[in-house]
Amino acid sequence: MGMTITEKILAAHAGKEQVQPGDNIWVDVDVLMTHDVCGPGTFSIFKKQFGENAKVWDRDKVVIIPDHFVFTKDTHANRNIEILRQFVKEQSLPHYFDVGTDNYKGVCHLALAQEGFNRPGDVLFGTDSHTSTSGAFGMFSTGIGNTDAAFILGTGKIWVKVPESMCFEFTGTFPEHVMAKDVILSVIGDIGVDGATYRAMEWRGDAVMKLSMEERMTLCNMAIEAGGKNGIIEADDVTLDYVKQRTDAPYKVYHSDDDAKYFFKKTYNASEMEPVVAKPHSPDNKAKVSECVDVKLDRAYIGSCTGGKITDFIAAARLLKGKKVKIDTFIVPATREVEQDLYKEKIGGESLMDIFKSSGAYLGEPSCAACLGGPKDTFGRATDNQVVISTTNRNFPGRMGSKQSQVYLASPYTAAASALTGHITNPAEFINN
């Protein structure tokens, strides 16, 4: 019987020829990632269970990326980063990207890609639900808690229930003003915030394969917002170009079989997709941008693992160039590399950085920042009953810092267009003129 790409990767890591959805298997882990919020708890469980002097199963496979509460005066948050440093020292871990050094990266999911830890065919776990992002590289990746992460640290293994797969195929080409963010928000709106619970979300079709790695990451990043276990896209030349520039490590390209079984299959005509938002307070509360033009905004936020990649800022800058924002607009590059690219990438001879500064937007340091609220002094944190348009991934009550605020999730194009008008705006108005 045929297998999906997810089933094949899991089977290979369990030493099995064949697995089926529902099988509980123990898999060998290629990479374990943790960060400042979940690392300290993970390490204390690891020490409690395996001993104060226990060593991690494989130093080369552990990646530690502080990114959540990094630029804050919060003493507990800073203490947690100190705990990461201590553990890295004790264990002599080579892959640590410390705050306040040239080695600092920023948001873990993009840093994993940029530093060459995303490799086709691998199995990667992370103590963060958006670890599904790495699936864009044709690998299995998912989020776990501290306990499971501590188990992996000690054993290199973890149990996994093989998920059923759902296939989302997009044929043709997406319209110019439609981004991957619109596509994932549309799909979540269709199937609901628990529409993919326990399942793999596999993205297929020529429209998907025309996307950059950054846009593919956006599709896989928000699988968790539909409850999905993992998002996944088969690796192709675009993937391999990206990977080979960043690592010499081996990889293996898997494809789903033609006769693989899917729990669900839907084919979309890419050219019919439209810009959408998720209205407060749920990522599946979908509406077409054209239906929300009366919504007045207090601020726009462009950043996070979902919407803070270089392609997201190129899109935003395209609209903001030569114009002034009407509302407070926060720009937070996901990583240092993205921040450096804001100086290198130019539109009409002007760098993205200059475009943003001239537009009146505020620039923040690379990190998760206000995507998840965070300590009170977090850059861009929502207060009171602000209405925010944001390229982030969640708009549950209080997510960006204030229970009274209202967050509309949108693409970078839509967020930038809306920043220019002060109300939710279809980017097509700017792009097509």
Residue 412, classed as helix, strand or coil, is helix
Q: Which of residues 57-76 bind other proteins (CB under 8 A)?
A: 68-69, 74, 76
Site string (223-252) toward other proteins, x via CB under 8 A: -x--x-x-----------------------
For position 55 contacting other proteins by CB under 8 A, the verdict is: no
CB of 232 to other proteins, least distance (A): 16
Task: Out of 6, 114, 118, 127, name the contact with other proteins by CB under 8 A.
Answer: 127
Beta carbon nearer to other proteins, 97 or 151: 151
Structure-block tokens of residue 275 = 């810009």
Task: Out of 364, 373, 412, 427, name the contact with other proteins by CB under 8 A.
Answer: 373
For position 133 contacting other proteins by CB under 8 A, the verdict is: no
For position 141 contacting other proteins by CB under 8 A, the verdict is: no
For position 372 contacting other proteins by CB under 8 A, the verdict is: yes
Rounded to 5 degrees, φ, ψ at 279 are: -75, 165
Task: Out of 175, 205, 360, 398, name the contact with other proteins by CB under 8 A.
Answer: 398
**Distance from C-alpha of 50 to C-alpha of 402, rounded to nearest angstrom:** 40
User: H or E stretch including 148?
Assistant: helix 146-155
**Distance from C-alpha of 333 to C-alpha of 350, rounded to nearest angstrom:** 18
**Distance from C-alpha of 9 to C-alpha of 223, rounded to nearest angstrom:** 18
User: H or E stretch including 216?
Assistant: helix 213-221
Q: Which of residues 193-222 bind other proteins (CB under 8 A)?
A: 193-194, 197-198
Strand order in the sheet with 328-332: 286-288, 276-278, 406-409, 387-390, 299-303, 328-332, 362-363
Contact 151, 47 (CB under 8 A): no
What residues contact 266, with CB distance under 8 A and at least 6 apart? Answer: 167, 168, 169, 190
**Distance from C-alpha of 319 to C-alpha of 247, rounded to nearest angstrom:** 34
Beta carbon nearer to other proteins, 177 or 381: 381
For position 309 contacting other proteins by CB under 8 A, the verdict is: no
For position 335 contacting other proteins by CB under 8 A, the verdict is: no
For position 49 contacting other proteins by CB under 8 A, the verdict is: yes
Q: Quick one: which of 180, 174, 398, 173 has its CA closest to 280? A: 398
Question: Where does this chain touch other proteins (CB under 8 A) — which range of 87-95, 144-152, 179-187, 346-354?
Answer: 144-152
CB of 221 to other proteins, least distance (A): 13
Where on the chain is the footprint of other proteins (CB under 8 A)? 24, 26, 37-38, 40-41, 44-45, 48-49, 68-69, 74, 76-77, 79-80, 126-129, 131, 143-148, 151, 154-155, 157, 159, 193-194, 197-198, 224, 227, 229, 282, 372-376, 394, 396-399, 401, 403
